[in-house]
Amino acid sequence: METRVISANELDMKEAVREAVALLSKGEVVALPTETVYGLGADATDAVAVAKVFEVKQRPSFDPLIVHIASVRDLPQVASVPEDIEKVFQKLISAFWPGPLTILLPKTEAIPDLVTSGLPTVAVRQSGSPIFRAIGRELGKPIAAPSANRFGRISPTSASAVVKELGGSIPLVVDGGACSNGLESTIIRIEAGEKRPEIHILRPGPVTKKELQNFGRVVIEKKRLIDEPADAPGQLASHYAPRTSLYLFDKPEEFKPEPGKRYGLMSYKGDPKAGYVNRHEWAKVESLSPGSGKLPEAAVRFFHVMRTLDEAGLDAIIAEPVSDVGLGQAIMDRLRRAATR
């Protein structure tokens, strides 16, 4: 199969939407840009189309998908909102939709069990990407769209990264440029709670614990065991991994290089004072936020840097930790799951 790449800039937007919708309407899968990472989209109400997503990604059927809606008005097609969390739900979507927040809700019958891995709940969000929303509006259906990569591999943040992962196995990639967030959405479950609403973070992401604390008591769920089925997307313990072995060390002195091996360093900001840059004669060094150590920049560059190191012909990648606060919690979550065990 030939994989076409079509630009979705201002001049080509209508054509890109038309071509994507034509394929999605026929039950095909299409790679689409979001503000987080590129997604592999299919009509979420078409079980056969959704099955193609699992096939192309080589994704296990016990790992559910996120369903994207073009407008809040489309939510009743996908999910219901329990009365006891309605008030806090409305506050959350007013603050974070469109955007990188996914909320777990009871699913409707329109969503096939394959999408939710047989679970009664569905993960829903409204993407901040105007291209993605335009395609959803024109399609008139919700879109199931996990990241557009092979299961467990590095999430793509550019059209070229999608082609490297899935070229030849999908018909179309809609090129919307580089993703603005660079990390997958935060996933939450809302409970009424006794005194305040409880917001359970199932996967850390761009919407941080600190931001969510304005709406209720925040609980961070523990990671799943490697062979334990997930109850929401993105919860598996091993994920986001490069083909090259990646090791995460809390302290630079924990790294003991073996003679003759080529090591690359994923540095936070490339600062020698952190102790990693001068620890070894690295074959390659890539920094998440060169010089400045800004977490938003590190989040945007994270998967790009990991992919660059993965393609450098190294024996191993050594990762320097970032500040484990705010967005740093999401970056560290991805690093821990990518690390070789």
Domains of the chain, first to last: 4-175 (3.90.870.10), 246-338 (3.40.50.11030)
Find out whether 127 and 216 touch, Cβ atoms under 8 Å: no
Phi, psi (rounded to 5 degrees) for 286: -125, 135
Distance CA 81, CA 89 (A): 8
Find out whether 58 and 150 touch, Cβ atoms under 8 Å: yes
Return the residue matching tokens 């997930």. Answer: 230
Task: Kindly state the helix (H) or strand (E) to which residue 150 belongs, with its residue range.
Answer: none
Task: Kindly state the helix (H) or strand (E) to which residue 178 belongs, with its residue range.
Answer: none
Distance CA 197, CA 88 (A): 7
- H helical segments located in the chain: 13-25, 47-57, 75-78, 86-96, 113-116, 130-139, 159-166, 209-212, 295-310, 327-338
Q: Compute the Cα dihedral for 139, 143, 148, 149 and give only its sign.
A: negative
Q: Structure tokens of 220?
A: 């961070």
Which residue type, as a one-letter code, is found at position 118?
G
**In 3D, which of 10, 6, 48 has the Cα closest to residue 28?**
48
- Residue 213 is predicted with a pLDDT of 97
Distance of CA 137 to the CA centre of its chain: 22
Distance of CA 326 to the CA centre of its chain: 17
pTM confidence score? 0.91
- Residue 228 is predicted with a pLDDT of 56
Return the residue matching tokens 């060169």. Answer: 290
Q: Structure tokens of 263?
A: 């090591």
- Residue 39 is predicted with a pLDDT of 97
Return the residue matching tokens 């038309």. Answer: 18
Per-residue pLDDT for the chain (341 aa), expressed as one digit of tens each? Answer: 899 999 998 677 999 999 999 999 999 999 999 999 999 999 999 999 999 999 999 888 788 999 999 999 999 999 999 999 999 999 999 999 999 999 999 999 999 999 999 999 999 999 999 999 999 999 999 999 999 999 889 999 999 999 999 999 999 999 999 999 999 999 999 999 888 999 999 999 999 999 999 999 999 987 654 445 567 786 666 677 899 999 999 999 999 999 999 999 999 999 999 999 999 999 999 999 998 889 999 999 999 999 999 999 999 999 999 988 899 999 999 999 899 86
* Pairing verdict, β 66-68 and 121-125: parallel
Find out whether 231 and 250 touch, Cβ atoms under 8 Å: no
**In 3D, which of 190, 279, 184 has the Cα closest to residue 236?**
184
